[in-house]
Amino acid sequence: MNKKRVLTGDRPTGKLHIGHYFGSLKTRVEMQNNPEYDPYILIADVQALTDNFNNPEKVRKNVREVAMDYLSVGIDPKKTTIYIQSMIPETAELTVFYSNLVTIARLERNPTVKTEIAQKRDIFGESVTYGFLGYPVSQAADITTFEGELVPVGEDQLPLIEQCREIVRKFNSIYGEGVLKEPKAVLSNSKRIKGLDGNEKMGKSLGNAIYLSDSEEEITKKVMSAVTDPARIKKDDPGNPDICMVAYYHNLFTPKEEVKTVCEECKAGKRGCVACKKQLAKNIIEELRPIREKRAYYEAHPEEVDKILMEGTEKAREVAKEVAEDGIKAIWNFAHTDLALNDDVVVENVHLSESLMQLSYRLARKEK
């Protein structure tokens, strides 16, 4: 049975949090255990540099941190290939080629890119770097290097996949239909997880996240600071769980019947916010306990993590080479030396200097 190759990944800009856990990590574990899929996960260190160019050490350090989070939640290196983006030169080569197929105007119209640039004005000011503006091109190279058929994403990432599909169609129109595969987006069943402060996004840079590696004390402290109904002053005041972040997280970590009780008692003023937060903290701690314990093992054995990363990257490199070799059906050669390859590769040798000389000669004759 031909397995469908699945490609996804994360930028190593910090440890992963429960937003990643519900948004993508649980889905990845499910997919790796499905015999229909062949999952690849990249640690996108090159892409991380697009907005961390002044702090490469941060990116380097977090490659291992992200890998430990993957292993801790149940990503199995025997079922899922985990690799480092910067160690796959084929991806860098494709990025250069693809950059000739996309206009600056098209990149600037990408809704995801526009939103992220607006969020990072403190980094870029009024002038964004080429690297950040063009990261969808690099992402398209990541996907097509491994002939990724399925790409699990959140709804906000759909414009990036569509841009990748546009690049593939443009490339195939020039070099031959079917050379590259168009990937399909797989929407996660989970919505984006809100932050403890009520922000629509839980983020590393926003300071509103619960990390998978947080200690019991850290989890409790963060939960106790979570935003609740601002109109509820006293313990016996009726509350509104619909605007309370504690109730929101109960829906993620607490059994449904218990959530129902929590909300009813909140509305009736029978359950205070402190008691509600303590119960939530306890539930989060218990769900994340196996993850923390597994992570503690890898923290004590970093050489095992590095070995897994190197083996995964070596495997990915071999696959990338095979895909590159299999995908070359024709070459439009502008080099000084003519190419003579096997009959299964069509070569068109273009002699620019001769063409320019002929053009100059014809132009000169016309002017006479």
CATH number at residue 42: 3.40.50.620
- Comparing 22-36, 318-332, 335-349, the range with the smallest average pLDDT is 335-349
Count the domains in the chain.
3
> Looking at the structure, do residues 97 and 20 belong to the same domain, yes or no?
yes
Q: Round to whole Å and give the CA distance between 29 and 79.
A: 10
> Looking at the structure, do residues 287 and 238 belong to the same domain, yes or no?
yes
Residue 255 has pLDDT above 70, yes or no: yes
Residue 149 has pLDDT above 70, yes or no: yes
On whether residue 85 sits in a domain, the answer given is: yes
On whether residue 204 sits in a domain, the answer given is: no
More confident residue, 262 or 362: 262
On whether residue 109 sits in a domain, the answer given is: yes
The average confidence (pLDDT) of the chain is: 88
Last residue of a domain, one of 248, 280, 295: 295
- Comparing 210-224, 262-276, 278-292, 337-351, the range with the smallest average pLDDT is 337-351
Residue 177 has pLDDT above 70, yes or no: yes
More confident residue, 141 or 352: 141
> Looking at the structure, do residues 338 and 283 belong to the same domain, yes or no?
no
Label residue 292 exposed, middle or buried (CB < 10 Å: 0-12, 13-18, 19+): middle
On whether residue 200 sits in a domain, the answer given is: no
Phi-psi region of 198 (alpha: psi -120 to 50; beta: other; left: phi over 0): left
> Looking at the structure, do residues 139 and 79 belong to the same domain, yes or no?
yes
> Looking at the structure, do residues 256 and 227 belong to the same domain, yes or no?
yes
On whether residue 252 sits in a domain, the answer given is: yes
Segments forming the whole domain that contains residue 340:
330-367
Strand partners, 42: 9, 83
pTM: 0.84
- Give 200's DSSP letter: S
pLDDT band at 35 (very low <50, low <70, confident <90, very high): very high
**pLDDT tens readout for residues 93-130:** 899 989 999 999 999 999 999 999 988 888 888 889 99
- For the chain, the residue count is 368
> Looking at the structure, do residues 141 and 286 belong to the same domain, yes or no?
no
Residue 352 has pLDDT above 90, yes or no: no
Last residue of a domain, one of 295, 310, 338: 295
> 251 is written with which tokens?
């829906």
> Looking at the structure, do residues 26 and 90 belong to the same domain, yes or no?
yes
On whether residue 207 sits in a domain, the answer given is: no
Strand partners, 347: 331
> 160 is written with which tokens?
């990036």
Residue 245 has pLDDT above 80, yes or no: yes
> Looking at the structure, do residues 99 and 22 belong to the same domain, yes or no?
yes
In the block, tokens 């008692």 appear at 265
Residue 325 has pLDDT above 80, yes or no: no
Give the per-residue pLDDT at 43: 97
Residues 219-244 have a mean pLDDT of 90
On whether residue 206 sits in a domain, the answer given is: no
On whether residue 250 sits in a domain, the answer given is: yes
> Looking at the structure, do residues 172 and 250 belong to the same domain, yes or no?
no
> Looking at the structure, do residues 291 and 318 belong to the same domain, yes or no?
no
pLDDT band at 176 (very low <50, low <70, confident <90, very high): confident
More confident residue, 367 or 336: 367
Phi/psi of residue 106, nearest 5 degrees: -65, -40
Q: Quick check: 232 and 239 in contact, CB under 8 A?
A: yes
Give the per-residue pLDDT at 359: 67
Q: Round to whole Å and give the CA distance between 300 and 303.
A: 9
> Looking at the structure, do residues 341 and 307 belong to the same domain, yes or no?
no
How many percent of the chain have pLDDT more than 70?
Answer: 88
> Looking at the structure, do residues 247 and 360 belong to the same domain, yes or no?
no
In the block, tokens 């129109």 appear at 173
Q: CATH number of the domain at 228, please.
A: 1.10.240.10
Q: Round to whole Å and give the CA distance between 221 and 226.
A: 9
